[in-house]
Amino acid sequence: MCSLVLFKKIFGAIKVGGEKQAEEGERKRSVEEKEIPSQPSTRKIYLKALTLHSPEEIENVKSEIKLGNILIIRIEPLVRRSAEDARRVVNELSEFAASVGGDIARLGEERIILTPSSVQIWREKSSDSAPKM
């Protein structure tokens, strides 16, 4: 008898027909409405340094970001080869980062950093954007 009471407390009373389906629908909605904190992933995230020599290598960059890795990309060889290709690649990576909720930033003249959605790049506010008194 005690186990039946415990069972009912955990799973609710067993109902038949439409009542059971309505109750299940309400339960699903209430679970969907609650914000469930995400659990930390057990998958390792890697910080990788890559060099882009040609625009064809961009798909490898995208797949690394989709896997959740952080990339520091040296673009200087691509710039030397074709400034227009380099500009196009950086624009495409910027659009890609925005589409997956990631981030992108320049690291000096030769490198960019690209992060997945789980990592945001901190940017110091410039003195130009400080409120004037």
The model's pLDDT over 70-103, given as tens digits with 9 standing for 90+, comes to: 999 999 999 999 999 999 999 999 999 999 999 9
Q: What is the pLDDT of residues 101-133, one digit of tens each?
A: 999 999 998 999 999 999 999 998 876 655 554
What pLDDT does residue 42 have?
78
For 47-65, letters b (16+ CB in 10 Å) and e give: eeebebeeeeebeebbebb
SS (H, E, C) 18-50: HHHHHHHHHHHHHHHHCCCCCCCCCCCCCEEEE
Q: Is the dihedral of CA 30, 33, 34, 37 positive or negative?
A: positive
CA dihedral 108, 112, 116, 122 (to 10 degrees): 10
Question: What is the structure's pLDDT at 15?
Answer: 46
> Given this model, what pLDDT does residue 38 score?
55
Domains within the chain, CATH numbers bracketed? 2-27 (no CATH), 47-115 (3.30.110.150)
Return the pLDDT at 20: 47
Confidence of residue 14 (pLDDT cuts 50, 70, 90): very low
Phi–psi pair at 22, nearest 5 degrees? -65, -40
pTM of the model as a whole = 0.63
- For the residues 57-82, what does the mean pLDDT come to? 96
What does the pLDDT average to over 6-30? 49
pLDDT score of 85 = 94
What is the pLDDT averaged over residues 13-32?
49
